[in-house]
Structure 1
Amino acid sequence: MRQKLFYMLLIVMFVASGIAHYGGAANLVQLVLACIAVIFAAGFLGKATESVAHYSGERLGGFLNATFGNAAELIIAIILIKDAIFHDEPKLFDMVKASVTGSIIGNMLLVLGLSVLAGGLKFKVQNFNPKLAAHNASLMMLAVIALFVPAVFAKQLSPAHTETFSIIVAVILIVAYLLWLYFSMVTHKDELADEAVEHGEALWSKRTSILFLALATVMVAFVSEWLVGTLDTFSETFGLSELFVGAFVIAIIGNAAEHSAAVMLAMKNKIGAAVEIAIGSSLQIALFVAPVLVIVSFFMGNTMNIVFTAYELVAIGVAAFIAKSISQDGSTNWYEGVLLLAVYLILGIAFYLV
């Protein structure tokens, strides 16, 4: 009965949000309906991910969730880049970079923090593969270095050289990320696998699970785009800066799918999948999505450089440092979740006041 009610509300809110968007309803109405719809769509994506993980294993299931969840954010960012280039609004590049920053810190601090806290309140200690944790920590450092170096050297480079350097760094990061996937899921798959956890019955068959995963991603992408369309009015109404809107509002919307799935999995003692969703998604944003956006902008005719502001670099560095400290031993507890959320709140307040 509860499942039927959930799916009925999912369809109703998705359709209502679409009608409000395409029917030109008031921005506030669009915002409220889209927010509710994205919560249900994210919940649907979480259920689909859990079902896929039943057949594919926690690591691959978590990776698929992070990938499908980030697909929505990639779509939003490409739309913003297109508007920046074709409508000559270079400030939208800054919003894209802020949303990348927000996604990285949001996944490392908010998603991981909520997952660790929720799982830790139910299970005293939760464990996952320490070797995977160590590799994730190294990749976090690579992400920080790759974003820090261009920002430092950009001051001494011409705009043309900065764009060229950004493209080169983007290609290097994409290659490094693809090699990491080959390393972690092919050559060293067994070493980085988590211990088997009882999964129980899958919600759907393997084929249906994959179909619903794709469908849920499409729904999240549509609702996210509708929601982004209301952000200008939202930011003007509440006097929010583009940096805050990009780093926190858009990022939280884009990460809604990861929030839902990671917390649900952690509460079922599947912390390995939750960590893969949270940290894996951050790494995917930093090492793959951001570089892809640079390359996409290049082919659109106006390259978005990979130079981030000092505020954004500090936020990413702080998030990577605390996430590395907490996750590197391969075990978590509820208080570590509190620490992650505390850092996220501190950064949120700082970005709001800037």
Structure 2
Amino acid sequence: MKFLKYMLIFIPISLIAKFMNASPSLMFVLAALSIIPLAGLMGEGTEEISFYSGPKIGGFLNGTFGNATELIISFFALKEGLFEVVKSSVAGSVIGNVLLVLGASMLAGGLKHKTQYFNKKVVEVSSSMLLFAVVGLCIPALFTHTVDPKLLNTRYEGLSIFVAIIMITIYILSLVFSFFTHKEIYATASEEENTATAKWSLKKAILVLVVATILIAIESEFLVSGIEPLTKTLGLSEFFVGIILIPIIGNAAEHSTGIVMAMKNKMDVAIEIAIGSSLQIILFVTPVLIFLSLFFTPMSIEFNQFELIALIVAVLIVNRVSSDGESNWLEGVQLLAVYSIIAACFFIL
């Protein structure tokens, strides 16, 4: 994680480049290189706050701010009317978390530890919730693909808002489930986290979090303004940028944390990072983006057929892999292989 701090040099470089009217494609690259360490700082800040707020609230903050980068980037994309990029980045975040992050974590952890074990009960709850969330996200999209487009009218936007309300309600209820009614299921993980101590003061942690959020907002605007010129220059599709590039940029720090935890034989934490982050993307980030789109041009929950297939396959695979309460390096390779195939398909679109 130390190398991320050296990447902070790209922040002043990107600001100077913007002042000198650098090309949008160059600004995309510089902004991407700036956002990666800022996302890392944001994660570190929330981790430090957790020592003062307690592990449960700290874990919630970690997940929320872990996806803040994605939310900020998507907000500016919404503002620019890049709905395909926004929707594909939602799908890409889920696919990336459950295939790329979990696959890399299982591979790295499995090479160091022959077989790794995790709390089957916790993972069953999370993976079942993820399956529900993806089904809820896909049903409106499948509806549009099975009905004659002529029959669809403005009421479909109302359907998207209705689904968004249900999803954010389920998200709130899941917090009640984990924090209050069934908190004993998560007790083991909480006890383990209490052994570490804070490196920063609470004031410093909050300041880092605020500054990192502001800088990410600035860099996200640079990044989004360069998407269309970049796709034209390199011949990439907006789907590839949304599905592969933006999720990797926004979640790079979180991804590396999952791999480090797996190598420390903390597979519970690595799996929770992958599945928990995906859950929050679907149940919290997506509804918030739909509500925000009402201030610009309303965005509907409509994915193309291949995005739907990729989402459903990814979640079914992670449910199968996590069902036995143990993992090894071969399962990691299999998840990475599926992710590579999906990425290659979107690359040639």
State the TM-score, normalizing by the size of structure 2: 0.87
- Is the contact made by 2:25 and 2:227 (CA closer than 8 Å) also made in structure 1? no
- Is the contact made by 1:244 and 1:351 (CA closer than 8 Å) also made in structure 2? yes
Q: 1:218 to 1:273 in 2, by over 3 A?
A: farther
Q: 1:61 to 1:326 in 2, by over 3 A?
A: farther
Aligned ranges 1:129-140 → 2 under 5 Å: 129-140=119-130
Q: Do structure 1's residue 290 and structure 2's residue 286 form an aligned pair? A: yes
Q: Which residue of 2 aligns with 1:88?
A: none
Q: Residue deviations 1:231-287, cap 9 Å, x none? A: 222211221111111111222222223223322333333333322222111111112
Q: 1:43 to 1:82 in 2, by over 3 A?
A: closer
Q: Residue deviations 1:67-94, cap 9 Å, x none? A: 112112112212222222xxxxxxx212
1:346 aligned residue (326, 341, 346)? 341
2:65 aligned residue (43, 64, 68)? 68
Q: Which residue of 2 aligns with 1:303?
A: 298
Q: Which residue of 2 aligns with 1:246?
A: 242
Q: Residue deviations 1:169-203, cap 9 Å, x none? A: 11111101110011112221121233444754433
Paired residue type of 2:153:
P
Q: Aligned-pair distance for 1:167? A: 1.1
- Is the contact made by 1:143 and 1:283 (CA closer than 8 Å) also made in structure 2? yes
Q: Aligned-pair distance for 1:299? A: 4.0
Moved more, 186-195 or 28-37: 28-37
Q: 1:298 to 1:220 in 2, by over 3 A?
A: closer
Q: Distance in 1 between matches of 2:264 and 2:294?
A: 43
Q: Do structure 1's residue 327 and structure 2's residue 327 form an aligned pair? A: no
Moved more, 94-103 or 208-217: 208-217
Aligned ranges 1:108-123 → 2 under 5 Å: 108-123=98-113
Q: Do structure 1's residue 103 and structure 2's residue 93 form an aligned pair? A: yes
Q: Distance in 2 between matches of 1:266 and 1:53?
A: 20
1:180 aligned residue (169, 174, 178)? 174
Identity of aligned residues (%): 48
Q: Which residue of 2 aligns with 1:162?
A: 156
Q: Distance in 2 between matches of 1:138 and 1:6?
A: 34
Q: CA RMSD in A?
A: 2.6
Q: Aligned-pair distance for 1:342? A: 1.0
In structure 1, the gaps of 5 or more residues are 85-91
Q: Distance in 2 between matches of 1:211 and 1:123?
A: 38
Q: How many residues of Structure 1 are paired with residues of Structure 2 in the alignment?
A: 343
Q: Which residue of 2 aligns with 1:48?
A: 45
State the TM-score, normalizing by the size of structure 1: 0.86
Paired residue type of 1:337:
G
In structure 2, the gaps of 5 or more residues are none
Paired residue type of 1:128:
F
Paired residue type of 2:333:
V
1:148 aligned residue (106, 113, 138)? 138
Q: Secondary structure at the match of 2:80?
A: helix
Q: Distance in 2 between matches of 1:318 and 1:61?
A: 31
Paired residue type of 1:162:
Y
Q: Secondary structure at the match of 2:154?
A: helix
